[in-house]
């Protein structure tokens, strides 16, 4: 069996930076340390950190009850009110928001303050989108599907600013912007899709088109991994979604010549290597 591993598989810059930030805090040894939500969508990493004493705050309510410690903001970012809450509780805030997400926060804050209606192309339930909404001065509209874009009914010439969730599919983003284009809004479009995602998607599509089977590795809650899976599935029917090497069913790969491997932004290198080793054994 021949293996082709995508060069762009695994941690992106922002996730690496966020994970490193937590380990740096652990090394400093000033407890207690919390992350506001799991630092990344990877259970193995989260568990390792938990063993080192890092607790995950699952809700705003839990944050509200803290009286001491350091709260680390993960790469997805959070709305302004969470920073305010951390400050008002007298807690130490360590911000590991990806700089690319931070840039969206600054854009929507500025544009909504100047009177533009913010439209976010993304998944309304995703924490990154939640965070972006939390920097808008007026309620943002979230558009994820063709139906939602078509249903967007603002008066002609409304001032709008369109941004995107960083991990959104680039082609889908273009399609949705095209629909909104026909509505005659006075608009600014800021393509805030992160290059890491675009590169990973393009490479995955290309590899999936060349191989007999494709393996996509990532956490079950990771939206960018789910999107990678969709892209690969279109090119290669034999696409498998696994979380770790333990999910790998070698039986189904037995008579395969060329196998491609890619992984979502929150998959540690170690897991990718383990899958690669197992395929080669
Ligand atoms: Fe940042 Fe892009 Fe990763 S926005 S968290 S570098 S996918």
pLDDT of 266: 81
Looking at ligand 1, which atom is closest to the CA of residue 15?
5
Tens digit of each residue's pLDDT, the chain (281 residues)? 899 999 999 988 998 999 999 999 999 988 899 999 999 877 788 999 999 999 999 999 999 999 999 999 999 999 999 999 999 999 999 999 999 999 999 999 999 999 999 999 999 999 999 999 999 999 999 999 999 999 999 999 999 999 999 988 888 999 999 999 999 999 999 999 988 888 999 999 999 999 999 999 998 877 889 999 999 999 999 999 999 999 998 888 888 899 999 999 888 889 999 999 999 88
pLDDT of 25: 97
**Domain residue spans of the chain:** 2-10+196-280, 13-97, 100-193
Active site residues: 128
Looking at ligand 1, which atom is closest to the CA of residue 76?
5
The CB of 196 under 6 Å from ligand 1? The reply is yes
**Which residue in 232, 228, 244 sits closest to 277, CA to CA?**
244
Looking at ligand 1, which atom is closest to the CA of residue 13?
6
| 13-97 topology per CATH | Rossmann fold (3.40.50)
The CB of 13 under 6 Å from ligand 1? The reply is yes
The CB of 264 under 6 Å from ligand 1? The reply is no
Q: Does 2-10+196-280 match 100-193 in CATH topology? A: yes
pLDDT of 195: 84
The CB of 228 under 6 Å from ligand 1? The reply is no
The CB of 100 under 6 Å from ligand 1? The reply is yes
pLDDT of 58: 94
Tell which CATH classification among 3.40.50.920, 1.10.760.10, 3.40.1010.20, 1.10.20.140 matches the domain 100-193. Answer: 3.40.1010.20
Ligand 1: residue whose CA is nearest its atom 6:
14
Residue 281 Cα to ligand 1 middle (Å): 33
Is 0.85 surpassed by the pTM of this model?
Answer: no
**CATH 1.10.10.10 describes domain 2-10+196-280:** no
């Amino acid at each position: 069996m021949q293996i082709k591993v995508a060069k762009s598989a695994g941690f992106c810059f922002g996730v690496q930076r966020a994970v490193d930030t937590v380990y740096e805090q652990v090394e400093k040894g000033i407890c207690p340390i919390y992350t506001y939500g799991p630092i990344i969508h990877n259970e193995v990493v989260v568990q390792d950190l938990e063993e080192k004493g890092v607790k995950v705050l699952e809700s705003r309510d839990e944050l509200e009850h803290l009286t001491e410690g350091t709260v680390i903001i993960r790469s997805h970012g959070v709305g302004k009110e969470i920073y305010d809450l951390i400050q008002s509780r007298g807690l130490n805030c360590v911000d590991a928001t990806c700089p690319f997400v931070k840039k969206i926060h600054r854009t929507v804050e500025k544009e909504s303050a100047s009177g533009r209606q913010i439209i976010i192309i993304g998944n309304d339930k995703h924490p990154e989108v939640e965070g972006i909404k939390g920097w808008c001065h007026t309620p943002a509209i979230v558009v994820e599907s063709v139906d939602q874009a078509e249903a967007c009914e603002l008066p002609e010439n409304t001032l709008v600013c369109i941004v995107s969730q960083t991990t959104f599919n680039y082609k889908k983003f273009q399609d949705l912007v095209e629909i909104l284009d026909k509505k005659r809004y006075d608009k600014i479009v800021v393509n805030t899709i992160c290059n890491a995602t675009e590169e990973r998607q393009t490479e995955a599509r290309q590899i999936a088109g060349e191989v007999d089977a494709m393996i996509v590795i990532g956490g079950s809650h990771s939206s960018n991994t789910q999107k990678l899976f969709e892209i690969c599935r279109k090119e290669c029917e034999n696409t498998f979604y696994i979380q770790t090497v333990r999910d790998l069913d070698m039986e189904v790969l037995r008579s395969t010549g060329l196998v491609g491997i890619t992984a979502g932004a929150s998959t540690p290198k170690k897991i990718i290597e383990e899958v690669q080793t197992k395929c080669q054994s």
